[in-house]
């Protein structure tokens, strides 16, 4: 194992963490402001990926496709909030889970009907093709570095939005006391729709960015959704800072665990079995980390002050 290879895997972990942050930030905003468990969030990730792939294939421009992913996911999120989610705010979490699970099935079958069962593929734009040299002689794709940079910009933009704007003030107030801001004249229904659309746009953006390094296919959002829930539980439900640090922790832990554990297992078991055992332990590692963190801090690393 070389330092260059370890650095490459570390960057892969950070890139995974950034994508999880884009998913988890929307989830934690929606739950923090609305108290809603949204299992359909992964479907909005899929909507963004398919919108980007379809528009990029039609126009020949990845960048136009990227804008389309934001618009399509935000529009889908707003429509879902107006048509379905709005009726669930006063219901218990079981009703929310059942309704949003039904939305997963509807999105999946609708996407399959529109695009078919075969995966779509996105080409990396020429500006972001190629690789840069890492210390030690290996190369790392420019596009993956661009994903990390884009995630950092989104995190900064979210921080500025939440902490420095009137909308952010209302979002923070909505997390603390929804009834009070409604009594003060804020249109709580419009705020809910805006927050849901913002969370959907972040998920769609993540789907579009990942679509260029993976295939775009039906059901691609559900595995990521599970990890995003782990992120917000670790970070603290309703906390953007917690979502960022939790996502980076999960991304790096998962990637480095899959990279290092099979090698470490060689010290304890025969080499023929080390890979399988190490891979099995690595797949559980983020859940072990989550359990340890919750044992020490039951509300997550950065629970909101009102929690």
**What confidence score (pLDDT) does residue 175 get?**
63
Q: Where are the domains of the chain?
A: 2-118+127-218
**What confidence score (pLDDT) does residue 257 get?**
86
**What confidence score (pLDDT) does residue 307 get?**
46
**What confidence score (pLDDT) does residue 287 get?**
92
**What confidence score (pLDDT) does residue 290 get?**
92
Rounded (to 5) percent helix, strand, coil in the chain: 75, 5, 20
**What confidence score (pLDDT) does residue 27 get?**
87
Q: Are 24 and 226 in contact (CB under 8 A)?
A: no
**What confidence score (pLDDT) does residue 44 get?**
93
**What confidence score (pLDDT) does residue 106 get?**
93
Which two tokens mark 140?
């790392």
**What confidence score (pLDDT) does residue 66 get?**
94
Q: Are 232 and 257 in contact (CB under 8 A)?
A: no
- Counting as low any pLDDT under 50, the low residues of the chain are 307
Alpha carbon distances (Å) from 180 to 33, 87, 154, 305: 13, 20, 30, 17
d(CA 256, CA 286): 11
């Amino acid at each position: 194992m070389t330092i260059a290879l370890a650095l490459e895997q570390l960057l892969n972990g950070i890139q995974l963490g950034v994508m999880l942050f884009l998913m988890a930030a929307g989830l934690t905003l929606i739950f923090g402001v609305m108290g809603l468990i949204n299992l359909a969030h992964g479907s909005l990730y899929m909507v963004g990926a398919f919108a980007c792939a379809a528009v990029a294939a039609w126009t020949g421009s990845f960048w136009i496709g990227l804008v389309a992913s934001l618009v399509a996911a935000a529009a889908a999120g707003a429509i879902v909030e107006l048509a379905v989610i709005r009726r669930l705010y006063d219901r218990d979490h079981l009703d929310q889970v059942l309704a949003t699970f039904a939305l997963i099935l509807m999105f999946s079958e609708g996407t399959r009907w529109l695009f078919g069962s075969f995966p779509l593929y996105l080409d990396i734009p020429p500006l972001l093709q190629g690789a840069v040299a890492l210390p030690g002689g290996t190369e790392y794709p420019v596009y993956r570095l661009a994903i990390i940079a884009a995630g950092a910009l989104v995190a900064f933009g979210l921080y500025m939005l939440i902490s420095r704007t009137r909308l952010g003030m209302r979002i923070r107030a909505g997390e603390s006391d929804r009834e009070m801001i409604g009594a003060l004249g804020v249109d709580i229904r419009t705020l809910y729709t805006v927050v849901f659309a913002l969370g959907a746009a972040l998920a769609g953006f993540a789907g579009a960015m990942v679509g260029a390094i993976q295939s775009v296919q039906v059901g691609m959002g559900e595995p990521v959704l599970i990890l995003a829930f782990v992120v917000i539980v670790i970070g603290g439900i309703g906390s953007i800072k917690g979502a960022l640090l939790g996502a980076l922790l999960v991304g790096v832990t998962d990637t480095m665990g899959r990279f290092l554990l099979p090698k470490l297992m060689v010290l304890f078991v025969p080499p023929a079995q080390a890979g399988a055992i190490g891979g099995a332990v690595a797949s559980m590692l983020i859940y072990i980390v989550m359990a340890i963190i919750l044992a020490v801090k039951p509300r997550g690393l950065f629970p909101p002050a009102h929690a």
